[in-house]
């Protein structure tokens, strides 16, 4: 009788483990899921296109960028804003999707662009050719889809 109780307890534990494993496997689908905590409450215009942006203006937000975020929609982006113009670099640490990066100067002019930056490029660092006051991170392919080019004006 004692052996049968042990078998029943072991069976129940095994069943619970299988159920929990199945639940988490389905929920995460085998991927590193990230989060979607950004609020795209501001809107900017780049050329003829409008992009809804979240603003990253604190040192912590600037350093994090879009790391650990779920992929964002085609007309969404992160606008990283700095206090003064400088050579600000980005990298793809902890990124879950590829992006295009656009550096914008204090006059609202696009001064540099890097496209199709994939998570696999980490730890490479991407640096603009000239100082900028803003970096706009948007989904990869957006620069081409919107026809964005160096010299374009950005309206905040």
**Cα(67)–Cα(93) distance, rounded to whole angstroms?**
6
Which 3 state secondary structure label does DSSP give 153?
A: strand
CB 145 within 8 A of CB 116: no
CA–CA gap between residue 109 and residue 150 (Å, rounded): 8
Q: Which two tokens stand for residue 31?
A: 């991927």
Report the predicted TM-score, pTM, of the whole model to 2 decimal places: 0.78
- For the chain, where are the alpha helices, taking DSSP H only? 2-28, 59-64, 142-146
Chain mean position to CA 137: 8
Rounded to whole angstroms, how far apart are CA atoms 11 and 122? Answer: 45
pLDDT in tens, the chain (156 residues): 577 777 676 757 755 655 555 544 444 444 445 667 789 999 999 988 999 999 999 999 999 999 999 999 999 999 999 999 999 999 999 999 999 999 999 999 999 999 999 999 999 999 999 999 999 999 999 999 999 999 999 999
């Amino acid at each position: 009788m004692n052996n049968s109780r042990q078998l029943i307890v072991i069976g129940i534990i095994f069943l619970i483990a299988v159920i929990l494993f199945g639940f988490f496997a389905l929920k995460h689908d085998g991927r590193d899921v990230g989060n979607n905590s950004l609020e795209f409450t501001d809107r900017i215009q780049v050329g003829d296109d409008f992009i809804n942006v979240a603003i990253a203006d604190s040192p912590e937000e600037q350093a994090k960028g879009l790391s650990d975020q779920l992929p964002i929609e085609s007309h969404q982006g992160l606008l990283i804003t700095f206090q003064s113009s400088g050579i600000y670099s980005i990298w793809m640490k902890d990124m879950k999707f590829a992006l295009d990066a656009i550096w914008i100067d204090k006059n609202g002019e696009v001064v540099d662009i890097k496209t199709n930056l994939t998570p696999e490029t980490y730890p490479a660092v991407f640096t603009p050719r000239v100082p900028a006051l803003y970096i706009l991170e948007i989904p990869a392919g957006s620069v081409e889809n919107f026809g964005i080019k160096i010299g374009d004006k950005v309206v905040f």
